[in-house]
């Protein structure tokens, strides 16, 4: 039983990581800064592993991988941008880091959530405002 569960986890997690990678490539649009794909996929992979039991139980017919990928990307980009690791100093994102591309991905995933009724405009504005507050307090 363990082998089949491990195989199912690998299949589901690989599919989700692949979709996340494709979305990152699509959404990051700042050519003058480094890509953010490696940083994001590293964090997302850790989160998928932490949710191994849940990911293993997903069934293809019942699982919206696109929606899950957008949610993971929105949360991961928020966390990375608010971490202080991409700041020049308090309140300022480092233009030499991948921060601009992280912000591009964050905004695009939040737009997807709004467009697909995952939340409303007020929630999106509140989350963006909170992100900006976190960026202004950390660095």
Tens-binned pLDDT, residue by residue, of the chain (139 aa): 455 778 999 999 999 999 999 999 999 998 888 999 999 999 999 999 999 999 999 988 889 999 999 999 999 999 999 999 999 888 899 999 999 999 999 999 999 999 999 999 999 999 999 999 999 998 6
> How many angstroms separate the Cα of 52 from the Cα of each of 1, 42, 55, 81, 133?
15, 15, 5, 25, 32
pLDDT at site 30? 85
How many CB atoms are closer than 10 A to CB 28? 22
pLDDT at site 2? 56
Domain containing residue 108: 2-137
Q: Cβ contacts of residue 61 below 8 Å, gap of 6+?
A: none
Count of domains for the chain: 1
């Amino acid at each position: 039983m363990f082998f089949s569960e491990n195989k199912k986890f690998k299949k589901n997690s690989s599919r989700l990581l692949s979709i996340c990678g494709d979305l990152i490539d699509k959404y990051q649009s700042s050519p003058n800064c480094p890509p953010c794909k490696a940083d994001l996929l590293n964090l997302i992979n850790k989160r998928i592993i932490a949710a191994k039991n849940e990911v293993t139980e997903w069934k293809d017919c019942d699982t919206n991988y696109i929606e899950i990928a957008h949610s993971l990307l929105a949360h991961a980009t928020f966390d990375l941008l608010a971490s202080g690791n991409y700041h020049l100093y308090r309140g300022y994102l480092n233009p030499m880091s991948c921060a601009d591309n992280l912000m591009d991905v964050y905004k695009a995933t939040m737009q997807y959530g709004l467009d697909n009724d995952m939340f409303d405009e007020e929630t999106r504005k509140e989350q963006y405002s909170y992100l900006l507050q976190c960026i202004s307090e950390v660095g």
